[in-house]
């Protein structure tokens, strides 16, 4: 999303770029060194506008990147379904969803009045013919938790899900061990209630990382509009390679990969080394570089945690599975 498409619809006007950058720095501090005061910015239209200008522009591409991992049949099934954007902020993921999946019913659930004001102005500016609501109760839609479930306890998350009775639930949350611990409890509650895990788990059985110090998270690599990228460089805030916790649940079961890349281990001169979740069991995989074309080797080297895999076993070597990639 282009920066100009956002700044034209901010509820606060920044006279100069330096004023915007100063406000973004203030927001960044609240997200890092001043976490105790993080909620303060939600009442300040200047800071809400700064958050929208920078973080919405860099977050919107997340959804398109994430959707590359999701089952094709599922993506077709959600077109036209209502979207309930929980903790919507300025409507980041609602806007991204509208761009990807087209018209539908949109409800943005948000407590901050300044955020709701900003979301309304941004939505009306981009989709004047498409209605968006901040209140209402729909069922059989898609609930999207976009960096909001991490601010709730497990019980509150489940209560929202029960209130809206969705057919699908998508979590896009921080890729931290703290949130993953919470996500494991949410996952267990949903599985007990009959939900299917479509991503990232190959099966609904217990996560193999529950009793370890590790955590399951994904990385996405996103590209931005040149103006957004320039602003990121000036601010020294890397928004290209982003760690996330992505989880997708559905009432309907779809075919999904049995193997998922969960950790990229430093490669050797001769091989790529990975930790892979194979049918909810963690295994060490090794992919030999010998015989690969340079272009293929580069693409394999760029694979990130979260990528679905399809392999065939070559041999077991010292506790590692040496595999060959299929359809690559």
What pLDDT score does 211 carry?
83
On whether the CB atoms of residues 148 and 123 are closer than 8 A, the answer is no
- φ, ψ for residue 182 (rounded to 5)? -70, -40
Cα separation of 79 and 206, whole Å? 31
- How would you class 327 by CB atoms within 10 Å of its CB: exposed for 0-12, middle for 13-18, buried for 19 or more? exposed
- DSSP letter, residue 12: S
More reliable by pLDDT, 61 or 121: 121
Domain boundaries 259-325, corresponding CATH code: 2.40.50
What pLDDT score does 259 carry?
96
Q: Please spell the DSSP secondary structure of 22-58, one letter per residue.
A: HHHHHHHHHHTTTGGGGGGGGG-HHHHHHHIIIIIHH
- φ, ψ for residue 43 (rounded to 5)? -100, -5
Q: Is the pLDDT of residue 328 over 80?
A: no
User: Chain-wide mean pLDDT for the chain?
Assistant: 92
What pLDDT score does 320 carry?
92
Which residues of the chain form CATH 2.40.50?
A: 259-325
The mean pLDDT value for 240-251 works out to 94
Tokens standing for 44? 């300040």
pLDDT > 90 in the chain, percent: 75
The mean pLDDT value for 251-266 works out to 95
Listed in order, strand segments (DSSP E) in 44-195 are 83-86, 106-109, 142-146, 168-174
Would you call 76 helix, strand, or coil by DSSP? helix
What pLDDT score does 224 carry?
82
The mean pLDDT value for 17-38 works out to 78
What pLDDT score does 35 carry?
56
Instruction: Label residues 11-44 b or e (16+ Cβ within 10 Å = b).
Output: bbebeeeeebbebbebbbebeeeeeeeeeebbeb
- DSSP letter, residue 208: T
- How would you class 86 by CB atoms within 10 Å of its CB: exposed for 0-12, middle for 13-18, buried for 19 or more? buried
The mean pLDDT value for 10-22 works out to 93
Which residues of the chain form CATH 3.40.50.150?
A: 3-250
Cα separation of 111 and 160, whole Å? 14
What pLDDT score does 71 carry?
94
- How would you class 189 by CB atoms within 10 Å of its CB: exposed for 0-12, middle for 13-18, buried for 19 or more? middle
Q: Is the pLDDT of residue 318 over 90?
A: no
What pLDDT score does 115 carry?
95
Tokens standing for 124? 């009306």
Angle between helices 113-126 and 92-101 in degrees, nearest 10: 30
* Counts for the chain of helices (H) and strands (E), in that order: 11, 13
What pLDDT score does 169 carry?
98
- How would you class 185 by CB atoms within 10 Å of its CB: exposed for 0-12, middle for 13-18, buried for 19 or more? middle
pLDDT > 70 in the chain, percent: 98
- Omega before 311 within 30 of 0, i.e. cis: no
Cα separation of 97 and 306, whole Å? 21
In residues, how long is the chain?
328
pLDDT tens string 185-238: 999 999 999 999 999 999 999 999 998 889 999 999 888 888 888 888 887 877
Best CATH choice for the domain 3-250 from the list 3.40.50.300, 3.90.1580.10, 3.40.50.970, 3.40.50.150: 3.40.50.150
pLDDT tens string 121-163: 999 999 998 899 998 889 899 999 999 999 999 999 999 999 9
On whether the CB atoms of residues 264 and 300 are closer than 8 A, the answer is no
The mean pLDDT value for 274-291 works out to 95
What pLDDT score does 239 carry?
78
Would you call 174 helix, strand, or coil by DSSP? strand
More reliable by pLDDT, 241 or 246: 246
What pLDDT score does 290 carry?
93
- Which of 28-37, 175-184, 239-248, 272-281 is the least confident region? 28-37
What pLDDT score does 34 carry?
59
């Amino acid at each position: 999303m282009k920066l100009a498409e956002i700044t034209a619809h901010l509820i606060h006007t920044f006279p100069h770029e330096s004023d915007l950058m100063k406000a973004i720095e203030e927001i960044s501090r609240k997200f890092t060194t001043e976490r105790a005061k993080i909620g303060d910015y939600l009442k300040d239209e200047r800071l809400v506008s700064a958050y929208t200008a920078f973080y919405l522009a860099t977050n919107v591409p997340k959804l398109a990147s994430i959707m590359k991992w999701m089952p094709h049949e599922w993506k077709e099934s959600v077109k036209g379904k209502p979207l309930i954007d929980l903790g919507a902020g300025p409507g980041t993921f609602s806007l991204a969803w509208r761009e990807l999946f087209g018209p539908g019913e949109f409800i943005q659930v948000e407590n901050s009045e300044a955020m709701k004001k900003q979301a309304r102005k941004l939505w009306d500016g981009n989709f004047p013919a498409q209605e968006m609501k901040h209140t209402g109760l729909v069922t059989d839609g898609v609930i999207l938790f976009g960096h909001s479930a991490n601010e709730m306890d497990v019980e509150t998350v489940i209560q929202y899900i029960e209130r809206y009775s969705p057919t699908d639930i998508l979590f896009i949350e921080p890729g931290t061990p703290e949130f993953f611990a919470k996500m494991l409890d949410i996952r267990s509650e949903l599985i007990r209630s009959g939900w299917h895990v479509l991503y990232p788990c190959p099966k609904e059985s217990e996560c193999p990382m529950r009793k370890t110090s590790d955590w399951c998270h994904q990385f996405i690599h996103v590209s931005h509009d040149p103006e957004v990228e320039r602003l990121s460089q000036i601010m020294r805030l890397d928004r290209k390679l982003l760690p996330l916790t992505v989880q997708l649940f559905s009432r309907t079961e779809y075919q999904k990969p049995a193997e998922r890349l969960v950790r990229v281990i430093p490669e050797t001169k001769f091989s790529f080394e990975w930790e892979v979740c194979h049918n909810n069991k963690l295994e060490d995989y090794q992919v030999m570089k010998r015989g690969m074309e340079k272009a293929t080797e580069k693409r394999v080297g760029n694979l990130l945690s979260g990528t679905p895999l399809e392999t065939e076993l070559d041999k077991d070597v010292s506790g590692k599975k040496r595999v060959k990639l299929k359809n690559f």
